[in-house]
Amino acid sequence: MKKILIVEDESAIADTLIYILEAEGFEVSWVMLGSVAIDFIAKRDFDLVILDVGLPDMNGFEVCKIIRLTNQLPIIFLTARGEEIDRIVGLEIGGDDYVTKPFSPREVAARVKTILKRVTPAISNDVDPTILSRAPSGCDFILMGQALALTAIEFKLLNHLYSQPHLVFSREQLLQACGQFCDIGYERNIDTHIKTIRNKIKKHDATLQVIKTHRGFGYGFGLKQ
């Protein structure tokens, strides 16, 4: 279920948005202050933010700029007529879209769906053997007919993800799967290995993705062409 955060100080507006977005199957959270929104986004995962420009504590543009320092999630602005639409449209502020008040909640819901479709890549957990398969030697992978030349630990890592394509693993679990001890800095170790595997894949196909990052959890298999 996609999670949406509404940042809006007028409860009547928030209510209509919550109503329609929940009816569309989204999980909706609502806050009234920009500072609270920034805090929420830092602590929880959202898929999209609907951000009012005129908030009691901060300007929505400032909120967006702060969010953008660490997060690229889609942001739709709610603006009153005459607010700085040109700046939003020019993406100077980092918004993805805007809706002018008064708006139709249906229109907002439609925009939310369009944006989420645009940013959510079509990732398949199914392993297509013509793209990626285990090498006959049993210690490397073949990507579209060519060996990836993985090191032993890289092979174990990718093999673990590949063998259970529907699961997400923490860094600790992955390290254990590779037979390594969870020493200080192990998280960074895993990240480095994952990066190297991705670079080796990139050499064969610049756009192909095989390992998916699950923010706040770890890694899983995810084929994206």
- For position 52 contacting Ca ion by CB under 5 A, the verdict is yes
Return the residue nearest Ca ion (CB atom): 54
- Cα-based distances in Å from 134 to 48, 60, 142, 146: 37, 50, 6, 11
Strand order in the sheet with 146-147: 132-134, 141-143, 146-147
Single-letter amino acid code for the residue at 208: L
The bridge status of strand 75-79 relative to strand 48-52 is parallel
Binding of Ca ion by 15 (CB under 5 A): no
Q: Which of 2, 3, 9, 165 binds Ca ion (CB under 5 A)?
A: 9
Q: Three-class SS of residue 144?
A: coil
Q: Mark the segment that binds Ca ion (CB under 5 A) among 35-43, 47-55, 95-103, 135-143.
A: 47-55
Strands (E) in 46-158, as ranges, are 48-52, 75-79, 97-100, 132-134, 141-143, 146-147
Member of 54, 68, 115, 153 binding Ca ion (CB under 5 A): 54
Smaller CB separation from Ca ion, 38 or 161 = 38
CB of 104 to Ca ion, least distance (A): 18
Q: Which range, of 8-16, 41-49, 130-138, 213-221, touches Ca ion by CB under 5 A?
A: 8-16
Sites of contact with Ca ion (CB under 5 A)? 9, 52, 54
